[in-house]
Amino acid sequence: MIGVGSLGQHHARLYAALPEAHLVAVVDRDGDRARLVGSRHGVPGFGDLTELPDDLEAVSVAVPTVAHAEVTEVCLARGLAVLVEKPMAPSVSEAESMAAAAIKAGRLLLVGHTERFNPAYRAVAPRLRDPRFIEAHRLGVFSARSTDIDVVLDLMIHDLDLVLTLVRAEVAAIDSVGVNALTDKVDIANARLRFENGAVANLTASRISTDRVRKLRIFESNAYLSLDYAEQSAVVYTLKREGGARPEIVRDDVVVNREEPLAVELRAFLTQIRGGGSEGVSAREGLRALRIAIRILEQIG
């Protein structure tokens, strides 16, 4: 585990607990932090990735975004499979370099878009057919974490990944706005995406809210879905028509088997390393979401 800050420590915790994995070591540029987290799980902690032992198959990378490309490419060149946290990189050129490095090394590279593995989303995804309008709200209270990047790369990119997965068409137009509030980066943003097939997505992300909100609403012909990522709950409303009777709206509370999304994601990564399954956000998909995020930021200016 490389990078054991607020998120990386949870990767380490889960790897130590998952029967599919054997946690070997943790690394952090703060050596004391690395040793502290390592001691929790009975593994050594190092201040530099060059100190990692040889008996490795894979790494998770949760260092600051600006270091994603450098760390990931070093690990790929060493012959390791890599799961790198989102966003894939701070720039498209760096992400493209990472994807090329994975191909050259012949090693697996996945991107940590954890909401793909949220049990609520996984429970409703098979029901979706042709989304026409999608609305997402992802609001968080202010934290010094990830203020090295804009809120579009920090939070909105989760929903961009999901929307680009759900809508099977290219983005035709983007209309976005953003505000710098507490940092020199964009802290709150809204983006409206129009797709070539006519679908529309309206995404709002903020890291200066008084409440934490992570919700998604999807509208299809004769159906409406409401999903709460935090609560891991989902409801589907469908329009029922029978004969000449008056149309009726039917509510269906979706059964969700609750689980920590990060644990689901890490198991999928481990399964792919072993040559099984195909779940996981590929480098191509991570790059796709990043390209749209960068377009949004460029439009905000």
Q: How far is CA 36 from CA 12, 53, 265, in A?
A: 12, 18, 25
Q: What is the spatial distance between Cα 201 and Cα 180, in angstroms, rounded to a whole number?
A: 23
114, 87 Cβ separation under 8 angstroms: no
Q: What is the pLDDT of residue 146?
A: 58
Q: Would the pTM of this model clear 0.85, i.e. be above it? A: yes
**Residue-wise pLDDT tens digits, 142-184:** 776 656 789 999 999 999 999 999 999 999 999 999 998 778 8
Q: What is the pLDDT of residue 60?
A: 98
> What are 26's strand-pairing partners?
45
Longest dimension (CA), the chain: 73
> Hey, is 129 helix, strand or coil?
coil
Q: Which stretches of the chain drop beneath a pLDDT of 70?
A: 144-147
72-102 b/e (C-beta count within 10 Å ≥ 16 → b): bbbbbeeebbbbbbbbbbbeeebbbbbbebb
Q: What is the pLDDT of residue 149?
A: 85
Q: Please report, to the nearest 10 degrees, the dihedral formed by the alpha carbons of residues 31, 37, 142, 231 taken in order.
A: 160
Q: What is the pLDDT of residue 184?
A: 80
Q: What is the spatial distance between Cα 76 and Cα 59, in angstroms, rounded to a whole number?
A: 9
Instruction: Please report where in the chains the tokens 């370099």 appear, as a residue.
Output: 97
